[in-house]
Amino acid sequence: MWESVGVILPAFGLIAIGFVAVRTRLVSERAGEGLSEFVYTLAVPCLIFRTLARAEVPAVQPWGYWIAYFAGVAVVWALAMLVAGRLFGLAPAERVLAGFSAGQSNTVLVGVPIILRAYGEEGAVPLFLLIAVHLPIMVAAASLLIEGRDASLIGIVRRLLVNPIIVAILLGSAARPLGAFIPEPAWRIAELIGSAAVPCALFAMGAALHRYGLTAGLPLPTIVSGLKLVLHPLIVYWLATRVFTMPPAWTGVAVLFAACPTGVNAYLLAERYRQGVALTSSAVSLSTMLAMGTIFVWLQVLGK
């Protein structure tokens, strides 16, 4: 229990500090946005690059690990779309965004800090192997569902290939056989920038909470948050422990990844399509606030 408290309190304490700092104007909204940009474009990519370039990656692809996670995504996505359409009468694009909000985890600003805190180096490889496929699959699926026949696969791929996280994954994988030829100062620079990822990401998340707010009310965002924080990790936990065989650390990473709150990409996607902005911003804010309690419970379930 106390180990779980040691994981949760520093993480959500930094989120609270970020929120209060912006709320009291100790730090400007612009500074919070700049910090988010630094985390997303430099700090986390450096952390991913350094980890993948030097880590022991399993020779066999962990299909059961990925299937356990994305089966959970599929279930909560479908349920959120059904609820958004049948009970709230939302338009098709908004239903997709409700589903995306229920299935898409905040990997960069919340997932990376909490999972690395809970599992350390042992959890780094499964964490980044999941990040490697999470963003492409989620964004591509949402774009195809929203755009329908007008969707451009080339455009989707092009957007993904310039994403800093995807670039870091590709470069980290390519650098594995060349690691001995990379000078030590270069590794040290990547380490220094990457070490800023965890505290900066959590502070930036707090600043983002102040920016997004709860403009869509509570009913649908509460349902979406429940699917995201409770049902999604429950499905992943059942599949990882009852259906597939994997090391305990991999199970824990997959469950905590699923237990993370709705990621800010849901809001960014809504902004891009000019639909469901209030819903996604509310889902991001509410799920992040509730996640402190639910992640604590999941850490207990996982023995952390």
21 pLDDT higher than 80: yes
The residue with greater pLDDT, 223 or 8, is 223
Average pLDDT, the chain: 87
Please give the pLDDT value at position 71: 97
216 pLDDT higher than 80: no
Alpha-helix residue ranges (DSSP H) falling in the chain: 2-23, 29-38, 44-54, 63-86, 92-103, 112-147, 153-161, 164-175, 184-195, 197-212, 219-226, 232-238, 248-259, 264-273, 277-301
249 pLDDT higher than 70: yes
103 pLDDT higher than 80: yes
Length in residues, the chain:
304
Phi, psi at 263, each rounded to 5°: -80, 155
Residue 236 — pLDDT band, cuts 50, 70, 90? very high
Please give the pLDDT value at position 34: 87
Domain that holds residue 282: 2-301
Residue 274: how many other CB atoms lie within 10 Å: 8
Give the Cα separation of 202 and 189 in Å (integer): 21
CB-side exposure of 255: number of CA atoms within 13 Å? 28
Total number of domains constituting the chain: 1
Please give the pLDDT value at position 72: 97
Average pLDDT of the residues in 47-68:
80
The residue with greater pLDDT, 196 or 180, is 196
Q: Which residues pair with 105 in a beta bridge?
A: 262
Point out the least confidently predicted range of 82-86, 209-213, 227-231. 209-213
Joined together, the tokens standing for residue 128 give 């980044």
Residue 67 — pLDDT band, cuts 50, 70, 90? very high
The 3-state DSSP class for residue 105 equals strand
The CATH number given to whatever domain includes residue 121 is 1.20.1530.20
Average pLDDT of the residues in 248-267:
92
Give the Cα separation of 249 and 136 in Å (integer): 24
Point out the least confidently predicted range of 37-41, 67-71, 250-254. 37-41
Q: Which of 3-12, 27-36, 43-52, 96-105 has the highest mean pLDDT?
A: 96-105
